[in-house]
Amino acid sequence: MTTRMTTELTELRRSIGQLKHCVDALRSDFGDTSAVRRLANDVERLEIDAVDLTEAPTPPKPRVSVDGKPDVVVVPDTPYDRNLWLDADDEGVGGVGRHGH
């Protein structure tokens, strides 16, 4: 793990601790309302995710081309061939170009 990642994870854990403190203060002001419980649940989820990150393997380094420059994949912005979408469904909408008449 790089120094930068360690620093960022330390800052993340510190920030989560501050959030936890704020939610505890809100609980004493507002009681155990559904909104406070949701906030507490969100903070708990952040804690779990932060632990997952600390246990995750080191992310792979960016690919580099033979000349030492970043390996960039160019994605054209020209329209796709419409035939690619024949018989494809838009989730919840139905097939492209189909009408439910």
pLDDT single digits (tens) 66-95: 888 878 888 889 988 888 878 777 666 655
Residues 32-65 have pLDDT tens digits of: 999 999 999 999 999 999 999 888 887 777 778 7
**Enclosing domain of residue 46:** 3-55
Confidence at residue 1, expressed as pLDDT on a 0 to 100 scale: 63
Confidence at residue 60, expressed as pLDDT on a 0 to 100 scale: 77
Residue 31 lies in a domain: yes
Residues 8-25 have pLDDT tens digits of: 999 999 999 999 999 999
Residue 62 lies in a domain: no
Q: What is the pTM of this model?
A: 0.55
Q: Which of 54, 73, 52, 66 is nearest to 6 (CA)?
A: 54
Residue 28 lies in a domain: yes
Confidence at residue 101, expressed as pLDDT on a 0 to 100 scale: 46
Q: How far apart are CA 57 and CA 6, in angstroms?
A: 13
Q: How many domains, in total, are found in the chain?
A: 1
Task: List all residues 6 or more positions away from 88 whose beta carbon is below 8 Å from its beta carbon.
Answer: 95, 96
